[in-house]
């Protein structure tokens, strides 16, 4: 008796058919399957897992549960990029204009962020005048004209995923690899890209805590994308420390401009080159990673990437007068802390810095992130680091700058930040590379 038989089949470890999966998702989205039945099914999937084929069919069923974006009017191979999230991850703002400048169209729909700072849309919205909401035809026309547009999701993209995610969150089934993979990939496929590059992060500041789990998730998503006819690659990267040196929306936009000007930090630049190279490969512009990385470096050195960023910002109504001339960030209070010890930075607790920046009572002081969707973000506040993981330090060197709201206790906040930047006399025994591997 439907849908009990579908629940039983997965409970007993059987492989579900395309028809079973599609019907279950369609019926649940339409309200014909009760929440308690869907919860039972999710728990069965959590314990029994899914094959690549099952996960692909689940992904496609969720993707087709709502609007499917049609990018066919845009010439060329449209490539989308997705990150599983992390602290100071400004990659999209840098890599999208670089790849677009190389002739690979990027038509990206980004969400708003929950947590430490904002999502890509929140960062862009910190630019005066920038429009993150565009009519679909304007969005498509802009990509056809300049090769790049980044907007918030419009319409009803993968509504089945929204329903299932809320249920997963309430039933302790979030951490299922097939369910995570299908959730991410359903939205990517519904967004219309021809090819997909994934940045799958692991570590203290990431959703996946271990490299093993991140690798498993990456392989699953790559398998789904390829089976679905969307060439997909994944770059597995470390989030044991903040990726960039900026935490906060305006600060991260400033860092993106610096990176496009050839002044990006070591860790961020490495990930930008790795992700950008893979996007150029699937976009048909590079033969291999080496050629792709060289192209990315050349686009930075020539200024073409920065020029594309300026063109993109102007096209979506944003001010460009500040780009390359002055920082976007202007906070009521600014405080710079200096290092008191000599040695090496062996740990930067990115998650803790993100929490100082965006959560709880301390959000009253900083306010760069949101705990709830309706929370307002202060784009000007945040933390700017002057040192990265494994860097040497000396007494008197600038360690970080805080950008705070009016009335914030900057000394107290500075002490909290300093407590999470660990300096030791000796270098770390092992150095974790920021890019672990590429999965194709």
The residues assigned a catalytic role are: 82, 161, 168, 183, 187
Instruction: Assess contact for 380 and 269: CB atoms under 8 A.
Output: no
What is the β-pairing status of strands 79-83 and 195-202? parallel
CB 151 within 8 A of CB 71: no
Beta strands in 308-434 (DSSP E): 333-338, 343-348, 382-385, 392-393, 398-404, 421-424
Q: Does an H or E element contain 234, and which?
A: strand 232-238
If phi > 0 it is left, if psi is from -120 to 50 it is alpha, else beta; for residue 315 that is alpha
List Cβ neighbours of 271 (8 Å cut-off, separation of 6 or more). 91, 199, 235, 237, 243, 434, 435
- Give the largest CA-CA distance in the chain: 73
CB 201 within 8 A of CB 33: no
Report the alpha-carbon distance of residue 272 to residue 243 in Å, rounded. 10
DSSP codes, 244-298: SSEESHHHHHHHHHHHHTT---HHHHHHHHHHHHHHHHHTTS-SSHHHHHHHHHH
Q: In the β-sheet with 343-348, what is the strand arrangement from edge to edge?
A: 392-393, 343-348, 421-424
Please name the residues in contact with 287: beta carbons below 8 A apart, sequence gap of 6 or more: 281
């Amino acid at each position: 008796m439907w849908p009990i038989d579908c629940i039983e089949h997965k409970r007993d470890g059987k492989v579900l058919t395309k028809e079973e999966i599609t019907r279950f998702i369609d019926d649940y989205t339409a309200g014909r399957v009760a929440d308690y039945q869907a919860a039972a099914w999710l728990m069965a999937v959590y314990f029994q897992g899914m094959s690549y084929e099952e996960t692909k069919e689940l992904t496609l069923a969720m993707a087709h549960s709502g609007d499917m974006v049609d990018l066919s009017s845009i010439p060329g191979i449209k490539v989308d990029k997705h990150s599983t999230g992390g602290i100071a991850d400004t990659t999209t703002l840098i890599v999208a204009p670089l790849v677009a400048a190389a002739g690979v169209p990027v038509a990206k729909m980004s969400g708003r962020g929950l947590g430490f700072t904002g999502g890509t849309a929140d960062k862009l919205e910190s630019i005066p005048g920038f429009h993150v909401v565009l009519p679909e035809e304007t969005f498509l026309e802009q990509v056809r004209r300049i090769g790049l547009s980044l907007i918030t999701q419009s319409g009803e993209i993968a509504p089945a995923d929204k329903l299932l995610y809320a249920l997963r969150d309430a039933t302790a089934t979030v951490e299922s690899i097939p369910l995570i993979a299908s959730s991410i990939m359903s939205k990517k496929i519904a967004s219309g890209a021809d090819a997909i590059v994934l940045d799958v992060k692991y570590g203290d500041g990431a959703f996946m805590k271990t490299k093993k789990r991140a690798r498993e998730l990456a392989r699953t998503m790559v398998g789904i994308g390829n089976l679905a006819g969307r060439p997909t690659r994944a770059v597995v990267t470390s989030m044991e420390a903040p990726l960039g040196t900026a935490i906060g929306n305006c600060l991260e936009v400033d860092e993106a401009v610096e990176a496009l000007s050839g002044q990006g930090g070591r860790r961020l630049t490495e990930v930008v080159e790795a992700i950008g190279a893979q996007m150029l490969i699937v976009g048909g512009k590079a033969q291999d990673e080496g050629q792709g990385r060289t192209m990315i470096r050349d686009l930075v050195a020539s200024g073409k990437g920065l020029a594309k960023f300026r063109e993109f910002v102007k096209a979506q109504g944003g001010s460009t007068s500040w780009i390359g001339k002055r920082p976007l960030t202007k906070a009521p209070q600014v405080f710079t802390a200096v290092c008191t010890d000599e040695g090496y930075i062996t740990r930067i607790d990115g998650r803790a810095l993100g929490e100082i920046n965006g959560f709880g009572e301390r959000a009253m002081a900083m306010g760069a992130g949101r705990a709830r969707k309706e929370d307002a973000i202060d784009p000007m506040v945040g933390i700017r680091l002057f040192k990265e993981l494994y860097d040497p330090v000396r007494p008197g060197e600038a360690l970080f700058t805080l950008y705070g709201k009016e009335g914030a206790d900057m000394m107290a906040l500075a002490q909290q930040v300093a407590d999470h930047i660990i300096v030791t006399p000796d270098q770390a025994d092992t150095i974790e590379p920021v890019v672990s591997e590429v999965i194709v």
